[in-house]
Amino acid sequence: MDLHRRPGLVSASIIVMVVIGAFSGGLVGLILGTMLNSQLSLAIVAAFAAVIVAFIARHIAFGSQEQFSFPPPLTLLHIIISALVGGLAGHELAVDLREPPASGLIGGISGLLAAVLYSCFVITFLYRRADHD
């Protein structure tokens, strides 16, 4: 992806990831809300699912089919960190907004924050790669 010729592509990719992350996190939160007793584990699982879905959607929408392979270890590490931090922050924010928080709210906020964190990694990776090309 050449960032100097197509600068709007990065913004579109980030918007897609954040919207899909929030939606899929909320959906996972609603589905798992009755199965999981712990709100914290619900938030982390929803954030992890949201980052994975956002990652896949970004590659399907903006990457070629040859680029869609299992992520390298550094990318996998950033997915895990984004999910953990996004899940923990999403849980705390949902508790601050509403007591007791709805499972969809926990999942949606956790997915949104996790997707934003992963988007920051994607931006950094793309600009670092563009500097070396």
User: What pTM does this model have?
Assistant: 0.85
Q: Say how far apart CA 34 and CA 87 lie, in whole Å.
A: 18
Task: Write out the chain's pLDDT in tens, 133 residues.
Answer: 444 556 677 788 889 999 999 999 999 999 998 898 889 999 999 999 999 999 888 888 776 544 545 567 888 899 999 999 999 999 999 988 888 889 999 999 999 999 999 998 878 877 776 666 5
Give the pair of three-digit tokens for residue 3.
Answer: 């960032």
Provide DSSP, 51-92.
HHHHHHHHHHHHS-GGG-SPPPHHHHHHHHHHHHHHHHHHHH
